[in-house]
Amino acid sequence: SQQGEEDPQALSIQEGENATMNCSYKTSINNLQWYRQNSGRGLVHLILIRSNEREKHSGRLRVTLDTSKKSSSLLITASRAADTASYFCATSNTGNQFYFGTGTSLTVIP
């Protein structure tokens, strides 16, 4: 399977703390994207990082990409209760097919 793996599978933190989740993938990629999914709903696009980029920021989000290790990390700083959701990484290759990771379930405790 070319599906990625997220780590950890579940994460529980206090409001105000930082949350870090990791994604590993198996094949070469064009870009990697992170999505958020609130319970039972559609996915919301958070951020895209291209294969020639190493780090990207968007508001409280920071994404890193290490293509040599085939891994990426998503950091959410100063977490809020509203950040409670599942987070997925998705990779896109030259075949234009998306592969989603298994997801990290984040719970932010108020």
Q: Does 35 bind another protein (CB under 8 A)?
A: yes
Query: Given strand 61-66, what is the order of strands in its sheet?
Result: 5-7, 19-24, 71-76, 61-66, 55-58
Nearer to another protein, 26 or 41 (CB): 41
Q: Does 7 bind another protein (CB under 8 A)?
A: no
Nearer to another protein, 15 or 67 (CB): 67
Q: Does 51 bind another protein (CB under 8 A)?
A: no
* Bridge partners (DSSP) listed for residue 33: 48, 90
Burial label, 48 (beta-carbon count in 10 A; 0-12, 13-18, 19+): middle
Minimum distance between the CB of residue 15 and another protein, rounded to whole angstroms? Answer: 27
Q: What is the largest CA-CA distance in the chain?
A: 42
Query: 59: which residues sit within 8 A by CB, 6+ positions away?
Result: none
Size of the site for another protein (CB under 8 A): 24
Site for another protein in 62-101 (CB under 8 A): 88, 90, 92, 95-101
Would you tell me which residues interact with another protein (CB under 8 A)? 3, 30-31, 33, 35, 40-45, 48, 88, 90, 92, 95-103
